Amino acid sequence: MRLTVAQVEVSADHAVNRDVVAGVVRAAAQDGSDLVVLPEYTSGYDPRAVGPAHAEPLDGPFVTLLRELARERGVAVVAGTTLPGESAERAANAVVAVAADGEVAGLYRKVHLYDAFGTRESDTLEPGPADAPPLTFDVGGLTFGVMTCYDLRFPESARRLVDAGAQVLLVPAAWVAGPLKADHWRTLLRARAIENTAVVVGVGMAGRGVTGRSLVAGPDGVVALELGEAPETATTTLDAATITEARRANPSLANRRYTTTAR
């Protein structure tokens, strides 16, 4: 199957962001893509903080556009958005997966909020429930699992998705720039691929204050695609047989003595 990494720059102007997304998805579909993956916060982003002012309901203009594009072009789409929270003071950082028929295939609310390196995401966002079922869905004969940005630093997040059947891990992100941050991003994406014998697709946001540097790592950790810091899209081919062979040669999942448990 063909997967498009859409490393876009996102602003606080939601209408402009929707125009960018529409252009990217239509171009990817024209190129024969089966799945387009966009960054965290694609509906709207402010590097100072994202919160209730950026929130849209699931039936709001952003997800409605994703559904229309998917249905119109016959391509699945995964993108980060911000949903209203349970209280007026905080919103929810979420990733929505839309199937090629325009139906919502699933929703993931970010569990691990970025309260690190001088940033406090929890001031304006509420965490998703840690015991929610993992978000997995199928496209082109492969099972995809979804986590978000800071979740990458918690290996149990990836392992939980793999235990639910994921062969490919999608990581939409707005990975904040800073000392060693790009190195951490690259290293962690490859580590999650190697330890889970899974393909890992990290889709970073481009622009001020974030690293970009989207990357696709194979189940052996070899980097198959890597972008720079500027806005860019790229399409790659994923093959289930490659993952099957990697897991046959390196049966580390089968050889485990410990297993993950949701709590």
**Which residues are the active-site residues?**
40, 110, 149
CA 213 to chain CA centroid, nearest Å: 14
Q: How many CB atoms lie within 10 A of CB 262?
A: 13
Helix (H, G, I), strand (E, B) or coil at 32: coil
> Which pair of tokens denotes residue 127?
């965490």
Contact (CB, 8 A) for 205 and 9: yes
CA 58-61-65 angle, to 5 degrees, is: 95
Helix (H, G, I), strand (E, B) or coil at 140: coil
Helix (H, G, I), strand (E, B) or coil at 106: strand
Contact (CB, 8 A) for 168 and 199: yes
Length of the chain: 263
